[in-house]
Structures are given as C-alpha cells and as structure tokens.
Amino acid sequence: MLKKTEIVVKYGILSSTLSMFFKKHEKIEGAYAINQFKLARKRMRTQKNENIKVNLLRWLNEARSQNLPLKGYVLQEKAKVFVDALSVTDFTGSNDWLT
C-alpha cells in the first residue's frame, strides 16, 4: 500500500486534496453511486432541490422494475407529491424541468 506522500507525488495532487478525499470518501462514493455527479467534475455541487430529484429517481427505478407505464405528466405529478412531502416552496415542475 502506498504512503500518502507517495500518492501525492505519483498523482501530482496537494496533500490537502488527498486528506479531503480520505475525509469525505464515503460521501463522494455515495454521490457517484446514485449518478449525482460525473467523475470529470472538479467540485461536488448539488442542485437546489436535490432531495426531490433523488426521491423521484428512486420512485422511477421502482416503477420501471414493475413495468408501470411512465409519461412526463406522471413524473411531474409524482414530483409534486415529493414537493409537498418535503415542504419545498420554490419548485416548479415545468416541462423544461423534465429534460
């Protein structure tokens, strides 16, 4: 196993970057696992209403596994359910939001 100093030299990164990775590796791996961000991104920024997206994605995957018919308006209605459940006040589920 490589020492931290060897990793820093090998990959040309700062030791503070490596320390941050070790400190937040579970959060980073979890975000990548649910397609929250791409590996090429430099920063892990989330969307304003990320909880709605995560819940809607879980529901969508479950609905697909049950072969339920899915249309855009169905996703918008389900998003409204999550908006109400999460008490979000500044969300609009427009057609542009789906794309």
What is the dihedral sign for C-alpha 33, 38, 43, 47? negative
| Cβ 97 vs Cβ 75: under 8 Å | no
Query: What count of Cα atoms within 13 Å lies in the side-chain half-sphere of residue 32?
Result: 12
Beta-carbon contacts of residue 35 (< 8 Å; ≥ 6 apart): 57
Task: In whole angstroms, give the CA distance from residue 70 to residue 48.
Answer: 25
Q: What pTM was computed for the model?
A: 0.48
Q: Name the band, by pLDDT with cuts 50, 70 and 90, for residue 86.
A: confident
Choose the CATH number for 46-98 among 1.10.8.10, 3.30.500.10, 1.10.10.10, 1.10.10.60: 1.10.10.60
Span 24-76, pLDDT tens digits = 888 877 777 766 666 666 666 666 677 788 888 899 999 999 998 888 888 88
